[in-house]
Amino acid sequence: MSLPLTTCAPPHPYAGTPLWPASTRPLRTGDLAVGGVSLAELADRFGTPSYVIDEAEVRGRARAWRTALPDADIAYAGKAFLSRAMIRWVEEEGLSLDVCSAGELELAALSGFPAERIVLHGNAKSPADLRDALRLGVGRIVIDSTGEIASLAAQMPPGARQRVLLRVVPGIAAGAHSAVRTGVEGQKFGLPIAGGEAEDAVARILGQPRLELVGLHCHLGSQIAGLGPYVTAVRKLVALLAELRDRHAVTFPELDLGGGFAIAYREGDPVLDPSLYATRVTGELALQCARFGLPVPRLTVEPGRWIAGPAGVALYRVLAVKSTGGRTFVAVDGGMSDNPRPALYGVRYTVRLVGRASAAPARSATVVGRHCEAGDVLAEDVALPGDIRPGDVLAVPAAGAYQVSMASAYNLVGRPPVVAVSEGRARLLVRRETLEDLRSRDVGE
């Protein structure tokens, strides 16, 4: 069923910017429409909190990477947000899929995604994870530790051979927060190049006839806006490829540089451009391979947040407004259960009133959640109309990645639904988690 669309005015300043989906338009009521559908009407129909995903934005962003790197393998990082619809969209846009658990893998399989286009990650894959990957025939398994080599080889059926990548750590600090910098030594992912651990793991994999090592993998971190870290990674990884060729007489046909591409959460935030990335990184890769006399490996990149994040808008309803200690707090019906990122990483968001026009002067407010934690803050010091009141609907852009996927049922508050919008129509992708869902998991004494 379609939701009616109020007559649109000309595109507002957000349209086409990285913060909001490109389809975003202002309505004369003071509301916004995304994908041709009123956000306030979505809040009324599906309740709040809710997450809205613009299908056209997802597809457009997937195409941006395909256009920038037509000869590369673009693997959507499912950990950002995964649903059956998202899996279908990225498949139809020609992308591969990066998963990191048996649950994500099973959802991909149930959705009919081609197994040979799936890459399985994980620093601690369980035996069940590996069994499922082998049973389904995934295209690549990324080996993250030396212990995983023998574990995987032991599960291989006689006569079979699994293609694998080795995740290496190039010793590059990049990312918006220390908790998401995965290209440096001393964290849980991968095997460092420095000290020879990565080279030792290569030798072990080459000694396993049931494993086919096809290349190297690295992931530097998250929210990386500059190209410098990726260029440095290319230099270090190609040098390692040359060293492995000289020592083991092998050349590898693939190089996976991971993802971590920055998006904007507030006006002015730097954003990584796929076309600039493609020009700089592929140029450096060709240059370094020529320097060492290596064939240029096929590049893989793994955008997740960059595709899903700006396609999503979170909707909340105001429950209370309180002024205390010289600050104004606007409490909403969601919080850290549906978006733990501000509490985990100190992320700051943009917030906008939708559903009505207001002529009241703006004032600084802190938007907080409903949970029993002082750190349950969704957005600090945002400008909201001075007449903000209970019942109002607030919209938060750049909400499509690492919010629903990281959601919990803290305080036994169910996880929100996900609604897709496209060409003036809205449809439910993931239903709201109900109290009955939560009760059904408690089996009693």
Percent share of the chain, pLDDT over 90: 82
Provide the pLDDT for residue 189: 73
Q: What is the mean pLDDT of residues 135-147?
A: 94
17-67 pLDDT, tens digit each: 579 999 999 999 999 999 999 999 999 999 999 999 999 999 999 999 999
Residue 183 has pLDDT above 50, yes or no: no
Provide the pLDDT for residue 391: 98
Sheet with 37-38, side-by-side order of all strands = 25-26, 32-34, 37-38
278-314 pLDDT, tens digit each: 999 999 999 999 999 999 999 999 999 999 999 999 9
Look at residue 192 and give its three-state secondary structure. strand
Residue 6 has pLDDT above 50, yes or no: no
**How much is the pTM?**
0.92
- Which tokens is 369 given? 């959640």
pLDDT range class, residue 130, cuts 50, 70, 90: very high
- Tally the residues of the chain: 445
Provide the pLDDT for residue 7: 36
Q: What is the mean pLDDT of residues 248-272?
A: 94
Provide the pLDDT for residue 181: 46
Q: Which residue has the higher pLDDT, 113 or 197?
A: 113
Q: Which helix (H) or strand (E) holds 437?
A: helix 435-441
Q: What is the mean pLDDT of residues 352-380?
A: 94
Active site residue 100: no
Provide the pLDDT for residue 174: 58
Buried b (16+ CB within 10 A) or exposed e, 406-427: bbeebeebbbbbbbbbbeeebe
Q: What is the mean pLDDT of residues 171-191?
A: 60
Provide the pLDDT for residue 15: 38
Question: Which residue reads 């703006």 in tokens?
Answer: 362
Residue 179 has pLDDT above 60, yes or no: no
Question: Which residue reads 């935030």 in tokens?
Answer: 269
Rounded (5°) CA angle 17-20-24 = 95
Closest CA to 120 of 240, 261, 256: 256
Provide the pLDDT for residue 91: 98
Residue 4 has pLDDT above 90, yes or no: no
Residue 85 has pLDDT above 50, yes or no: yes
User: Of residues 8, 100, 218, 372, which has the active-site annotation?
Assistant: 372
Q: What is the mean pLDDT of residues 205-230?
A: 94
Residue 182 has pLDDT above 70, yes or no: no
Distance from the first to the final alpha carbon of the chain = 44
Q: Which residue has the higher pLDDT, 381 or 445?
A: 381
- Burial label for 271, CB within 10 Å (0-12, 13-18, 19+), is middle
Q: Which helix (H) or strand (E) holds 228?
A: helix 228-248
Alpha-carbon gap, residue 113 to 156, rounded angstroms: 22
Please give the mean pLDDT across all residues of the chain: 91
Provide the pLDDT for residue 17: 52
Q: Which helix (H) or strand (E) holds 394?
A: strand 393-397
- 4: preceding bond cis by omega (within 30 degrees): no
Alpha-carbon gap, residue 108 to 102, rounded angstroms: 10
Percent share of the chain, pLDDT over 70: 93
| Alpha-carbon distances, residue 347 vs 41, 42, 78, 343, 415 (angstroms) | 28, 26, 21, 8, 20
Provide the pLDDT for residue 187: 59
Q: What is the mean pLDDT of residues 74-102?
A: 97
DSSP string, 13-49: TTTTSSSS-TT-EEBTTS-EEETTEEHHHHHHHH-SS
Q: What is the mean pLDDT of residues 349-368?
A: 96
Q: What is the mean pLDDT of residues 221-236?
A: 92
Look at residue 382 and give its three-state secondary structure. strand
Alpha-carbon gap, residue 234 to 85, rounded angstroms: 34
Query: CB neighbours of 378 closer than 8 A, spacing ≥ 6?
Result: 316, 332, 334, 335, 336, 339, 342, 349, 351, 367, 368, 369, 396
pLDDT range class, residue 171, cuts 50, 70, 90: confident
Provide the pLDDT for residue 16: 40
- What is the identity of the amino acid at 173? A
DSSP string, 239-295: HHHHHHHHHHS---SEEE----B---SSTT-----HHHHHHHHHHHHHHHHHHHT-P
Alpha helices in 137-227 (DSSP H): 146-155, 197-206
